Amino acid sequence: MSLGCKLNQAEGDAMRHRCAEAGYALVPFEAEAEVYVVNTRTVTAQADREGRRLARSARRRAPRGGRVVLAGCSVQAGRERMRIPEADLLLGNGEKMRLPGHLSMPPVREGRLPEVRAEALAEASLLDAALVPAFAGRTRGFLKVQDGRDFARTFRATTLARGRSRSLGVEARAEQALRLTEAGHREIVLTGVHLGAYGRDLSPPATLSRLAGRLLRVEGLGRLRISSVEPGELTRELPRAAARGAPGAREGAHLRRHFHVPVQSGDDGVLAAMGRNYRAAPCARRFGRLVEDIPGVCLGADFIVGFPGEGEAAFGRTLEWVREAPLAYLHVFPYSPREGTPAASREGRPPAAGLRRRARALQELGRRKWAAFAAAQIGSRAEVLIERGRTREGLLTGLTDNYLRVALEGPEGWRGRLVPVRLEPLPRGWEARGRAARAECLWGIPL
């Protein structure tokens, strides 16, 4: 079970691949098994609690002699918090990529706290451990290109969990991308902790834009996606690559018209307290230029509410900023203090009821934003990457390059392919039917 970001999901797939190669049979996390593995995240204290809860749940299902392993960021950043009696073994971010070797060792004696194996992260070679030749059952392939962060936010423990920024070379990533396309992945998702820092540690230095440009020349690739990028790192080259996916643009591989940005707040005082290196107004102007330059671009953003010192006036400025900004959707996170970070000792946190109220207000604004974005795309043309499964009604579904979910009727041979469609509202009568009825879903008329 992998929690959290695209990077963690990609590493979880790599762990499963290595276990399968070692002869282990893979079963769903909810089934009875000999070994349960929770690949944790550690952005907030709530994330640590989620990892511990899953470990305890696995222990209740595990047969006598079964083993429970906690691995990843929560272990790397705070091993003592994760050292619970329900777990048998704790593995850090480096050790988790060698999971089969750890499983072959004798288990810790029953009744004792788990053994911890979490060495310091300094080896760039650990990046290679997350590479796999294909992602079984997935239409998209994940390509890890960077790990770690050279500076810390006041509310995160990412540097402790991932170490300093490390990158792998452009040509090495291009070779891996080619293997993924040969395995049938028409879309590749670039993952990393701080993708905007890609290449700064290489000699000679490289950039994320240069990497994207090289990958877009890989034979067989349909489109490329960047999982997340900081506001100040949306360089001009990245939007140019994405503009090639706009309606009417020339055919060929392109960067998806979808950027997810961790904005976190629309108030300059809160941004400064968080340690962010940008301010609200320039960020809004940058987003405005993106919308002008790339027709149909989808901009999504993370926001934290209730950060220590965020008063009602500051939250009001965030609401106003979001109303005016050309955002398509929001991910909203109530602030949760993270032990060991500067923000944890700051005063000025709102009461729990106020925190929930702020989160609900921003989430509702985000829902209205998304409904407006989806409605604006009706009548346009798009390519849909068809996913492997069907809905219970027998429909195919997939995502456009600007992040819209589309349902359509079509043959089995379309699975895993890019299919051109015209976007329309869901037909009458589908409003209450399963996955295809989600508010953000549109109907695709094949062209």
Task: Count CA atoms closer than 13 A to 350's CA, side-chain side.
Answer: 20
- Return d(Cα 191, Cα 431) in angstroms, integer: 35
Which percentage of the chain shows pLDDT scores above 90? Answer: 31
Best-predicted range by mean pLDDT among 41-45, 233-237, 290-294, 322-326?
322-326
- The pLDDT assigned to 266 comes to 95
Mean pLDDT of 235-240: 75
What band does 128 get if pLDDT is binned at 50, 70 and 90? low
Task: Check residues 348 and 182 and name the one with the higher pLDDT.
Answer: 182
Could you tell me the pLDDT band of residue 239, with boundaries at 50, 70 and 90?
confident
pLDDT tens digits, one per residue of 171-212: 988 998 999 999 888 999 998 888 888 888 888 999 888 899
- Write the burial class of residue 70 (CB in 10 Å: 0-12 exposed, 13-18 middle, 19+ buried): buried
Instruction: Give pTM, 2 decimals.
Output: 0.79
Q: For residue 438, what pLDDT band results from cuts at 50, 70 and 90? A: very low
Q: How confident is the model at residue 245 (pLDDT cuts 50, 70, 90)?
A: low
Top pLDDT among 419 and 67 is at 419
d(CA 54, CA 162): 22
Q: Hey, what are 72's tokens? A: 């990843």
The more confidently predicted of residues 412 and 79 is 412
d(CA 205, CA 300): 29
The region, left, alpha or beta by phi > 0 then psi within -120 to 50, assigned to residue 45 is alpha
Give the residue-averaged pLDDT of 399-415.
93
Mean pLDDT, all residues of the chain = 82
292, HSE (Cβ side, Cα atoms, 13 Å): 8
In this prediction, residue 408 carries a pLDDT of 93
Lookup: tokens for 242: 């994405």
With pLDDT > 70 as the criterion, what percentage of the chain qualifies?
A: 84
In degrees, rounded to 5, the angle at the alpha carbon of residue 47 between the alpha carbons of residues 41 and 53 is 105
Kindly state the tokens that stand for 271.
Answer: 């941004």
pLDDT at 374 over 50: yes
Residue among 309, 306, 314, 338 nearest 266 (CA): 314
**pLDDT over 80 (residue 341):** no
What does the angle CA 242 – CA 247 – CA 253 come to, to the nearest 5 degrees? 45
- Residue 47: is its pLDDT beyond 70? yes
Token couple for 208: 């994320």
Residue 114 has pLDDT above 60, yes or no: yes
Residue 305 has pLDDT above 90, yes or no: yes
- Would you say residue 378 has pLDDT above 70? yes
pLDDT at 196: 84
Ranges assigned E (strand) in 67-114: 67-72, 89-91
- Cα 405 to chain center, whole Å? 17
Give 342's pLDDT tier (boundaries 50, 70, 90): low
**DSSP assignment of 371-387:** HHHHHHTTT-EEEEEEE
Confidence of residue 435 (pLDDT cuts 50, 70, 90): very low
pLDDT average, residue stretch 406-417: 92
Which DSSP category does 370 fall into?
H
Q: Which residue has the higher pLDDT, 164 or 192?
A: 192
Least-confidence region, from 103-112, 386-395, 430-439: 430-439
Q: Report which of residues 357 and 153 the model is more confident about.
A: 357
- 312-324 vs 280-293: helix axis angle to the nearest 10? 10
